[in-house]
Amino acid sequence: MAGLRVLLIPGSARTGSWNLQLAQAAAAVLRELGAEPSVADLRALALPVYDADLEAAQGVPAGAGTLARQMAGHDAFVVVSPEYNAFPTPLLINTIDWVSRLPEGMKSMNGKPTALLSASPGALGGLRSLLVLRNFLSINPAMLVIPPQFALGNAAQAFTAEGALADEKQARALHGVLAALVKTATALSA
């Protein structure tokens, strides 16, 4: 398991984002599992809303290539997205849309094991958006989205001051999803 590179992709850039906190908590678990996690910053990519006319006139923005190269350097992904009206965030979908416009972008995502996580102030924890996200990522860039997923409800009260999950049952569930990701990615890289 040592040396497995996992890129966490938070679909929220909001200050104080529960999904960014969840990504950081997941990174700590991945380190415990012997993986080497890193966290992408989608806001820093400065990608405009996807528009075919814009692409035709100006090409694919440099930020899409930056993320494609970052993704290519990783063995697996953890996509962490809040739920906006039962859908993943526009930031996340737009980013994947731009990266997929590059041949190397599609190659950087295709077939890579991916785990889905979500945090929400509601009781369902963003579960509805994970259904949409699973379908989108499995078809468009053909990521290998593993069956287990994690939806963290009541996220405003879910974290300790140190950033870990406060509830032991939730912590075990998160660990289980990430252990399944590491196991899958390790088996595929063997």
Q: What is the CATH number of the domain that holds 162?
A: 3.40.50.360
| Alpha carbon distance 30, 15 (integer Å) | 23
DSSP run (H or E) holding 189: helix 168-189
Q: Is the pLDDT of residue 128 over 80?
A: yes
Mean pLDDT over the full length of the chain? 96
Domain extent for 45: 5-189
**Number of domains comprising the chain:** 1
Provide the pLDDT for residue 188.
95
Tokens of 107: 């190659």
User: Which of 150, 164, 130 shows the shortest CA–CA distance to 32?
Assistant: 164
Segment holding 171, helix H or strand E: helix 168-189
How many residues belong to the chain? 190
Question: How does residue 1 score in pLDDT terms, banded at 50, 70 and 90?
Answer: very low
What single-letter amino acid sits at 128? Answer: R
Task: Provide the pLDDT for residue 122.
Answer: 93
Q: How many CB atoms are closer than 10 A to CB 139?
A: 9
Asked whether 186 and 4 are in contact (CB, 8 A), the reply is yes
